[in-house]
Chain A
Amino acid sequence: MCLQSSVLLLAALFFFSACNKRQGKDFDTHESKETTLQSEQATIKESEQLAAQIESQLILFAQQIISGALPDSLSDNKEWSQFSNRFINSSEQSRTVKVSVFEIRHAESTVQTVSRIEMKARLKNQNYFGLITQFKSSWSKNEDGQLKVLEIGNPEQTVLNESPILWFSDETDRLTTTEPAFTEHLSMGLDFWLKRIESIHGIDAFINNGMALGDFDGDGRDDIYVCQPGGLPNRLFLHQTDNTIQEAPKKTGANYLDHTSSALFIDIDNDGDQDLTLATPSGIVLLENDKHQSFIERGILQTDEVDCHSLSATDFDMDGNLDLLITFALGSQSLDDDSLFRFDDARDGGSNQLFRGDGKWSFSEVTALSGLSEGNDRHSLAASWHDYDLDGDPDLYIANDYGQNQLYRNDVRDGSRFFSEIANEIGIEDRGAGMSVSWADYNRDGLPDLYVGNMYSNAGKRITGLSGFMPKNKELTKHYRRFAKGNTLFKQQKNGAFIDSGSATTMGRWAWSSVFADLNNDGWEDLIVANGYISGPRPDDL
């Protein structure tokens, strides 16, 4: 099921490499399965063990920089010394270090790596200081198996930041402390509830649940609706005058217990208040806002699949009634027929569905009629509508896990609306582990640009970069590398085609929501990437 966005083959490789790094003893590997992987695993296994050792050596090195005690061999190095000087006298408790090796090459007796060190600390002048730098290093193995550093190269591609105040402060506690739904439920996290709620209610270790902002009570301020897995109620929190939140009373009728992947506040009946729609395995639940006081259920739009993900609204036919698109990752056929699954080009996903609003709470399913059934068999995690070609109607971009993404251009054919899939034509297919879509004109040239969230994985980059990785199939190797590469920023050109506008924004880590917003009021839209896949109670990581 929803191993969405964990790239299968890489996942397999990480899995086995992780078994080698792992410290615990309660995990049984399956001997027979391990041995059948032997031919490729031997180098990967060895390589991953080395990478882990090198990472721990580099952490020591980073700690030396940050504490101002550079190793002798580097004390004459101008750039490392300069960095180190900045950190001297920084407050010890404020120091954090993260190290990652993302390229590893094996020569006869040495190992070459490309690594990244991220460090931050609070300086003597109270400024927040951060440093990210990439550098090469080479290593050899002593006879006793211990690693020895031969050379640490000069820092390259360095990003330095300093700021007297942080851009954001975490005010969660202040806003939520008086709210029992927060303290008794949401403060716990998924792992807590996984052990207390039966999985048949629709809760599992890989489940994802979203959130929506909208003004439910008509006071002019956005309220917040938090989606939850099956067996836990979704929560509607009302925005109070002091900016804290307070849960809407039970009689509001917002506490659905079905797994809800996403929700939207929209005015479906155009009567001036915010109705609510929910994506659930039973279909799209339609809730009418009744006098800003409560919701009345106005039916459920039945869907063909159950592994629902994104919900988005638009008026694609410009008739004044909002239309709804729901995406699905797994399809019912995914469960029966494994042969359809290809991790670089999966075609066994659930079909997304478009419901056209006809007014008065009536909807028609128009997926096939509107041309959206073209290529509608992928694992679609996210979708967003945007008039990318500025012709006056909204077009649709869908981000798919395990394969290429889609752009459906909104056309008029024989007097009615029809979608043409043209992602390849305009260069935004972005084959990868798509998880998120955001549109904006980030360079202010008037043309909409696109940022697509994808998985970035150090381990994936290391493994797919090994010369022994799948030597027989160069084409496939390229695709696999792409899967670990990370996010993509697409800049639209004047001719309507898009170009990948560089590497500065790829390393968003695991990358879920990856979205544009002007965070510092300079008129230029920045990017924020929400992160982390699964932080389990055990410290070892894949």
Chain B
Amino acid sequence: MPLGNSGIGPGLDGSDPARQLQEYVRRGASFSGSEAHVIFNNVEGLFKNVSSITGLDSKDDGRSVCFTDWDLDGDLDIWISNRNGPQIRFFQNSNPSGGHGLNIHLSGKSCNRDAIGARVILKARDKLPQTRTVTAGSGFLAQSSKTLHFGLAKEEIIEKIEIFWPGNKSQIISNIVPGNYHIEQGSEPIAFKVRSKGIEKDPNPFQKTFNDRTFLSQRLPLTAFFGRPPEAKNKPLLICLTVEDCKVCAVQTKEWEASPPTGVHLQLISESTLALSDPEKLRIIQLTYDHFFDVSEREIPTPISFLIDQKNRLCVIYRGHIDQDLLLEDCMNINIDGSQLRSRSVPFIGLWASKHISSARPLDFVEDLLDAGLLDQAANYINKEVNSLKEDELFPMLLKRFEALKSDRAVP
């Protein structure tokens, strides 16, 4: 799946500004962010910007807009989906004009049952006609209600409505007043009824509650960087990076001092010590963390911990405090694979349409090391993992890039 790759070509000068722009955004910058929604009021065919008095001017990076008369009070309410949280917002229409509404839900008989494509023209006394069409999919990634809504100013009297059923004769209805109706093709309108369905709520909607850790769906070998002491031979390794002035780190360390985590071999690493003794290793921890996600952390959350299995492959990334029960559970599941592993790697349960299950690609990780200029570490990694890397068809190209970078460095 190409999501996450830059498919956009070179810019003005052969550089790749789009990729740089992506990198910029991945590091947390904004791009035309914090812009409020805009509303133009149609005043008899001329538009006026009324955004400031509509109350609709939230700034959540809106995407789709869907209309429906949600509370059946005669005016259109709005659901908006957003990039930022909350990812959906509901705006209830307070209709300051005091006008009425006519809602019509159509159902076709000799055309498609949803009557998609049906056009309805409403003629009110002394007014220009209003036209609405049943549509499925409009705007951007949005589907509004298929119930048609007509706004009617105060005192407006409907003369008739005419329904143009798709591929069929039109139908005229002349005695209708504001309200909610269902109209079946060829029949008179009937007042719209809301029925109670009462679908039972899940007693426990989240069988898996969200924890702030990622049980990875990929198994990235890390033998090159995290050695395993003899006493940890048959146990998963838990590497925990702590920093000074971090309350959670202190709490966690104290807990483990009192009672070490069971089932794993724990290695506590202090950031300040590592920064002095092996700064490259610190970069590798950051790179390893960033490798899996489409954003880069500005700072590593602390404490941060890696659970590494007996084959020296990274399995779980923990942010912050680790719950002992969760750790035990993760250790028990450390060898699952296939669809079981995929399910466990996401925070909520659900179904997959895709049958394809991705696996780790150590080659990409080496690319990350090269991007970061860590040539020696990359050499080390290639050396240790050459067998699995060889299986990747792009391995010869990787070696080429590596050699090129190495000779670049050799020439001052």
Contacts and interface: CB of A to CB of B under 8 A. Distances in A.
Q: How large is the interface on A (under 10, 10 to 19, 20 to 34, 35 or more residues)?
A: 35 or more
Contacts of A271: 113
A29 to B, nearest CB: 8
Interface in B253-304: 292-295, 297-298
B30 A11 contact: no
Contacts of B13: 33, 36-37
B75 interface: yes
Interface string B3-44: 111111111111101101110111111111111111111111
B380 interface: no
B147 interface: yes
22 contacts: A27-B29, A33-B15, A168-B92, A184-B210, A200-B217, A206-B22, A210-B81, A210-B143, A212-B142, A219-B195, A227-B141, A233-B348, A233-B350, A264-B143, A313-B116, A318-B167, A341-B8, A392-B167, A439-B135, A514-B140, A519-B41, A535-B30
Q: 5 tightest A-B contacts by CB?
A: A130-B52, A210-B141, A189-B85, A312-B137, A535-B33
A15 interface: yes
Contact of B142 (A249, A448, A455, A513): A513
Interface string B384-400: 00000000000000000
Interface stretch (A53-61, A254-262, A365-373, A415-423): A254-262
B351 A187 contact: no
Interface in A401-429: none
Given A444-B129, A504-B47, A517-B76, A205 B89 contact: no
B51 interface: yes
Interface in A74-98: 98
Contact of A233 (B52, B193, B349): B349
Interface stretch (B64-72, B232-240, B241-249): B64-72
Contacts of B110: 320
Contact of A534 (B45, B61, B111, B194): B61
A432 interface: no
A145 interface: no
Given A1-B2, A528-B39, A172 B63 contact: no
A210 B88 CA distance: 10
A46 B235 CA distance: 60
B291 to A, nearest CB: 9
Interface string A18-57: 1000100011001001001100100000000000000000
Contacts of A147: none
Interface in B108-150: 108, 110-114, 116-117, 119, 121, 124, 127-131, 133, 135-147, 149-150
A512 B136 contact: no
Interface string A219-233: 111101011001111
A521 B95 contact: yes
B131 A446 contact: yes
A530 B140 contact: yes
A67 B319 CA distance: 46
A194 B346 contact: no
A519 B76 contact: yes
Contacts of A30: 15, 20
Contacts of A462: none
Given A172-B88, A330-B7, A334-B7, A523 B141 contact: no
Interface stretch (B199-207, B223-231, B325-333): B199-207
Interface residues of B, number: 173
Contacts of A261: 141
A241 interface: yes
A521 B21 contact: no
B251 interface: no
A375 to B, nearest CB: 20
Contacts of A522: 42, 97, 99, 151, 153
Given A204-B294, A334-B7, A441 B140 contact: no
B208 to A, nearest CB: 11
A224 B145 CA distance: 10
A389 interface: no
B347 interface: yes
A130 B3 contact: no
Contacts of B70: 221-222, 239, 243
A523 B124 contact: yes
A128 B84 CA distance: 26
B21 A541 contact: no
Contacts of A188: 85, 87
Contact of B82 (A189, A306, A507, A536): A189
Nearest to B137: A312
Given A204-B294, A232-B346, A513-B62, A518 B17 contact: no
Contacts of B382: none
A525 B131 CA distance: 10
Contact of B25 (A36, A205, A507, A526): A205
B150 A531 contact: no
A148 interface: no
Given A167-B93, A213-B143, A531-B37, A292 B32 contact: no
B260 to A, nearest CB: 27
A480 B46 CA distance: 28
Contacts of A132: 49, 52
A247 B1 contact: no
Given A172-B90, A224-B88, A522-B153, A534 B25 contact: yes
